[in-house]
Chains A and B, each alone.
Chain A
């Protein structure tokens, strides 16, 4: 079945370090891909998305490129800040309804000052 596999955490980095959180997917069709973020004490927020191959989603300095050939959607940021500490979820959806979103298990990111 359709699924998402993402890098296990926790990931701990120093401020201004380069971040990569790996995400790969398995899907029978052509899904849309998402990264959600959950800051401490808050709900999940959509961080970025891409709807077709080679699309790049970007927001708040984060980027992810939809790679159909490697079935991947890795999250990157060039210089992380303490405020980026959160749990990051990779997800896919083959339909536009929120009832059809399939999530990865989440990666906890901690940034040291």
Chain B
């Protein structure tokens, strides 16, 4: 059973471009969570999705950031018009149910130049 797969592992974007980060949850998991780790800080919750629904987006910046988890395919975290401050490691986790253990992916390291 493969773990949570995130790609790409590293992504470089110029200011103003769009970044798309993908997360394939573990088989059988329908709950996905995105976290962001800024330099020298801990991981901070961004958004929680369950197949086609956003359950909690309280940690998501109000502008330029969006997330989806379609019926088929991976979850996507999309950042439009990236700025230098978006440079961070973005982690995805998945769980079978809301209150069961979540398993994390390797993360995508986004660098905005």
Contact = CB atoms under 8 A, between A and B. Distances in A.
Interface of A: 4, 36, 41-46, 89, 91, 96-106
A41 B16 CA distance: 29
Given A98-B31, A99-B55, A99-B56, A43 B105 contact: yes
B42 A43 contact: no
A44 B104 contact: yes
B102 A98 contact: yes
Contacts, number: 58
B26 to A, nearest CB: 11
Interface centre among A98, A101, A104 (most CB of B within 10 A): A98
A87 to B, nearest CB: 10
A89 B91 contact: no
A59 to B, nearest CB: 13
B3 A106 contact: no
A106 to B, nearest CB: 7
Interface string B16-47: 00000000000000010101010011111100
Question: For chain B, which range describes its interface: under 10, 10 to 19, 20 to 34, or 35 or more residues?
Answer: 20 to 34
Contact of A89 (B6, B43, B102): B43
Contact of B40 (A42, A97, A105): A105
Contact of B91 (A4, A44, A45): A44
Nearest to B103: A43
A43 B106 contact: yes
A8 B3 CA distance: 29
Interface stretch (B61-69, B71-79, B80-88, B92-100): B92-100
A43 B98 contact: no
A35 B93 CA distance: 16
